């Protein structure tokens, strides 16, 4: 019993017990040491931990410094480079923010604010880095690149959705975020070009929403129906309805031309699946879990899409360290009933099969 009393006595004692006994006392500020992780790790170790190179991280911090710089450097303020490092660590693993704070030497609430601030700043670059072809010359160039994959003509993008796990948002609408695999997620719609750049992204829909519903509610559908990309089309899987501007595979191909159409369609549309794999390898948090609230998760997803495009454009090295148990496609690939497909919707696909693929076999 004496041992128990000694333990209880020691646990109730502290170095600052006299300070805490003072009336209306405030907790003393503690400044934790901050390690310069640009110097701590070599280039490869830095790349594997933060998913981008040191040079790109420094350039990003310099470019975003006006948005990230604090008003004063008093109270051991966090520099733009340190803020970028914390956000990159979150994108690398979606880790608990307390763990990131312990490594960075700041409180978890500071980490939360910093990650959101950096994500907003990077997502603000989306108009420069995520864009569909803007004119006929760009559309023709993109169609030529797609044609070189498997001879499918007039394609300017491939479309699909992927589920990005998030923590339960709570509240009355929480169950709308539970997908068919019983995981809380955001169903994110992405369009990619022939070089696997992300050219359009929609990251605001709950995991229970079907791919076709997301597309029908998106701005890009309105642009397609307004004729902005007239004469060209997207390729989608069977989760979408066939449209004059969005071609899907045939469910039961019979003729040689139909089989050739399906084969060319599938091999060309595979670009978007490969893009998901590269995106998730670059930033594993996209395939694991984003441990932040839903609004901030949406912002982080767009930021990671922007960074993915930047890394591809600048040919930033791909990290070698990546572990994932789920690299398969997780999009909704359920057939839509043909009862709602009009002859007008089928016209482009039938004409393409009869006048183009029929001559190729």
- The pLDDT assigned to 104 comes to 75
Summarised one tens digit per residue, pLDDT across range 155-213 is: 999 999 999 999 999 888 899 999 999 999 999 999 999 999 999 999 999 999 999 99
pTM of the predicted protein model = 0.86
Confidence bin at 339 (pLDDT 50/70/90): very low
Summarised one tens digit per residue, pLDDT across range 308-336 is: 999 999 999 988 865 554 444 455 555 55
The CA distances from residue 90 to 4, 115, 204, in Å, are 42, 8, 20
| Whole-angstrom distance, CA of residue 270 vs CA of residue 241 | 18
- The pLDDT assigned to 326 comes to 47
Burial class (CB in 10 A: 0-12, 13-18, 19+), 59: middle
Summarised one tens digit per residue, pLDDT across range 37-72 is: 888 889 999 999 899 999 999 999 999 999 998 776
- The pLDDT assigned to 25 comes to 62
Domain locations in the chain as residue ranges: 32-123, 129-286+330-360
- The pLDDT assigned to 81 comes to 93
Burial class (CB in 10 A: 0-12, 13-18, 19+), 294: buried
- The 3-state DSSP class for residue 284 equals helix
């Amino acid at each position: 019993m004496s041992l128990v009393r000694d333990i209880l006595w020691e646990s109730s004692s502290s170095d600052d017990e006299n300070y805490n006994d003072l009336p209306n006392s405030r907790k003393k500020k503690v400044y934790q040491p901050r390690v310069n992780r640009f110097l701590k790790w070599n280039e490869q170790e830095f790349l594997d931990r933060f998913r981008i190179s040191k040079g790109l991280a420094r350039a990003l911090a310099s470019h975003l410094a006006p948005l990230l710089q604090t008003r004063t450097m008093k109270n051991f303020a966090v520099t733009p480079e340190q803020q970028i490092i914390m956000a990159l660590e979150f994108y690398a693993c979606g880790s608990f923010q307390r763990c990131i704070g312990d490594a960075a030497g700041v409180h978890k609430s500071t980490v939360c604010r910093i990650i959101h601030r950096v994500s907003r700043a990077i997502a603000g670059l989306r108009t420069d880095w995520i864009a569909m072809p803007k004119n006929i010359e760009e559309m023709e160039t993109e169609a030529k690149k797609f044609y070189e994959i498997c001879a499918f003509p007039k394609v300017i993008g491939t479309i699909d959705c992927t589920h990005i796990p998030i923590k339960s948002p709570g509240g009355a609408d929480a169950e709308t975020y539970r997908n068919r695999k019983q995981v809380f997620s955001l169903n994110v719609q992405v369009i990619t070009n022939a070089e696997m750049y992300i050219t359009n992204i929609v990251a605001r829909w709950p995991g229970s929403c079907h791919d076709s519903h997301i597309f029908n509610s998106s701005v890009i559908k309105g642009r397609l129906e307004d004729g902005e990309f007239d004469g060209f089309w997207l390729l989608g899987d069977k989760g979408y309805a066939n449209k004059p501007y969005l071609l899907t595979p045939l469910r039961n191909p019979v003729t040689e031309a139909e089989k050739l159409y399906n084969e060319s369609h599938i091999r060309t549309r595979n670009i978007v699946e490969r893009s998901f794999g590269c995106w998730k390898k670059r930033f594993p948090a996209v395939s694991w879990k984003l441990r932040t609230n839903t609004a901030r998760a949406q912002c982080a997803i767009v930021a990671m899409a922007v960074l993915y495009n930047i890394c591809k454009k600048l040919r930033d090295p791909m990290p070698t360290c990546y572990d994932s148990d789920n690299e398969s496609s997780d999009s909704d690939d359920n057939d839509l009933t043909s009862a709602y497909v009009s002859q007008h919707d089928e016209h482009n696909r039938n004409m393409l099969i009869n006048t183009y693929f029929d001559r190729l076999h």
